[in-house]
Amino acid sequence: MTDPVLPDLWLDWCAVTGTPVDRRDEATLGRFVLQAAPSRKLLNTLRLAPLATAPAWPPALRGDATALSQLVHGGTSRINDPDVHWITRLRLRRLVFAAVLLAPANQGGLGLSRIQARGLTPGRLQSLRPVIGRTADEASCPACAVWSWLDVIGTNNDWSQDALRALGHHRDPAGGEVHRHERDDPSHGWLDWPDHPNLLPAIDQWGYLDRYGSLHPSSLSSLVHAIETLADARIAPARPASVEPVSAPPRITAEEEAAILARADELNARVARILKEYS
């Protein structure tokens, strides 16, 4: 089934005015007509389009307003795991970025369809960035996740695999004075992320990013499946710290802890397998 696609003029106007893309009452459409002068055909498309936004977002995640921020937090936790391979870390950054593109506006995402996400240009993303969600916790912040992926894209534009590998090994420490998205955009020389031809590239088995072609539609669908899997992993708590306070009372039995960690390992393996298979 083909995803419903909202007109780009409407999406741009919503981004500039801060209007939710699913707010299409007559008063809002009246302002849109006065400010953007859409065609009658485009206006009819908006009136007839289903109000349900984010057509590619997994249905199981639609009812939870915190689903995207929790998913970003889960992705950040895995990115910061020192045992994660650098290529998997790059794929996780792309996965979280894709989640921000696809998630509904009420969760802090852009609510794009698969077609719009694959065809997203740097210029259009720049105009949409002000409406991307922010959270107090940097590790959960969708805008910070976008910033980190743009760092990857800008590095890839320099054609330096060594630099990209170094960035793949980099993690996103939180707790600084300002969030990543509040800093200047990452800059890597005379070619930066706004000059990159595509924003959702394939990543091959050696960690190379395709500069000119976006992900195949089936690969993007697999990323959506990986988003569901990563969201499912939220039920598995992080591994306990290696050093516990002596006075801390035991909260779970050894058998329960083993079962929880086994579940976490299983889910982590599933995410890594999906990312590797559909790079």
Distance (Å, whole) CA 86 – CA 266:
20
| Structure confidence at residue 235 as a pLDDT band (50, 70, 90) | very low
| Structure confidence at residue 276 as a pLDDT band (50, 70, 90) | low
State the Rg of the chain over Cα. 20
Distance (Å, whole) CA 279 – CA 273:
10
Q: Which residues 6+ apart lie within 8 Å of 221 measured at CB?
A: 114
pLDDT at 176: 60
Nearest CA to 146 out of 194, 97, 186 is that of 97
Query: Domain ranges in the chain?
Result: 1-52, 61-239+260-277
pLDDT at 247: 41
3-state SS, residue 260:
helix
Distance (Å, whole) CA 273 – CA 278:
9
Distance (Å, whole) CA 261 – CA 265:
6
Distance (Å, whole) CA 192 – CA 200:
15
Distance (Å, whole) CA 127 – CA 15:
7
Q: In the predicted model, is pLDDT for residue 260 greater than 70?
A: no
3-state SS, residue 201:
strand
> pLDDT tens digits for 8-64?
888 888 878 878 777 788 888 999 999 999 998 888 888 876 655 688 899 889 888
Q: In the predicted model, is pLDDT for residue 87 greater than 50?
A: yes
> pLDDT tens digits for 145-173?
999 898 888 877 655 667 777 767 776 66
Instruction: Give CA separation, 68 vs 44, 140, 202, 237, in Å.
Output: 31, 8, 23, 17
Distance (Å, whole) CA 179 – CA 186:
13
Distance (Å, whole) CA 95 – CA 230:
10
Distance (Å, whole) CA 252 – CA 220:
39
Distance (Å, whole) CA 60 – CA 168:
31
